[in-house]
Amino acid sequence: MNHKNTDRIASTIYQAPLGQYVGRGGAEALARYVSAEVPVADGEFLFHRGDRADTFYLVTSGKLAVVREATRQRPELVLHVLEPGDLVGELSYIDGTPHTNSIRALEDATLLSFARQTFDPLVEEQPRVAFDFMRAVVTRIHQTAASIARQQQELTDFVSSGGKRS
């Protein structure tokens, strides 16, 4: 990637929620480990459930849906909508498991890709940036777990009340 693109990509990373963890210097370092900018057309899949996870992404434009794909028994289920600044596929990338859901573009989208062969050297070459990146991922996991706990409590309260909203 040329210097102008690296500066633009660093700015994009810094402005994303990830930027608050890695800082400007970390964003500049991460920009050097970007594998490619990936366009995904409206309706196309970035990856499918069960695919190998050797890349993770940062959404830079457009919206994508985390989906359970349709089967003969049920329609497609949208679980979450991803927007610019969101990371995609980082958990499966980190733990080496296949993707647990599919990702489909809700409109034309662009993502920065971080492939294993270009990103893994960051751990040895920029350990502080790698640590800050992991902190961002763990924080997101904590936020998701807290949200699930709140929703579970709301559902429990709803069922306990006999289906009456408080």
Look at residue 85 in the predicted model and tell me its pLDDT: 94
Domain holding 121: CATH number?
2.60.120.10
The token pair at 97 is 């498991």
Is residue 25 over pLDDT 60? yes
User: Which distant-in-sequence residues (6+ apart) come within 8 Å of 108 by Cβ?
Assistant: 39, 40, 41, 42, 61, 62
Q: Which pLDDT belongs to residue 145?
A: 78
Provide the number of structural domains found in the chain: 1
Contact 104, 64 (CB under 8 A): yes
Residue matched to tokens 């927007």: 83
Tell me which residue of 53, 96, 103, 68 sits closest to 82, measured CA to CA. Answer: 103
* Within a domain: 54: yes
Residue 76 pLDDT grade (very low, low, confident, very high; cuts 50, 70, 90) = confident
| Domain carrying residue 30 | 3-160
Q: Which residue has the tokens 């790698």?
A: 130
pLDDT confidence bin for 57, thresholds 50/70/90: very high
Task: Tell me how far CA of residue 67 lies from CA of 53, 61, 76, 83, 111, in angstroms.
Answer: 16, 19, 7, 14, 18
Task: Please check whether residue 165 lies inside any domain of the structure.
Answer: no
- Per the domain annotation, does 53 fall within a domain? yes
Say if residues 56 and 88 touch (Cβ distance below 8 Å).
yes
Half-sphere exposure of 166 (CA within 13 A, CB side): 9
Beta bridge partner(s), residue 113: 36, 57
Confidence of residue 143 (pLDDT cuts 50, 70, 90): confident
Which whole number is the average pLDDT over 74-95? 92
Q: pTM of the full predicted structure?
A: 0.85
Q: Rounded distance, CA 57 to CA 135, Å?
A: 17
Residue 166 lies in a domain: no
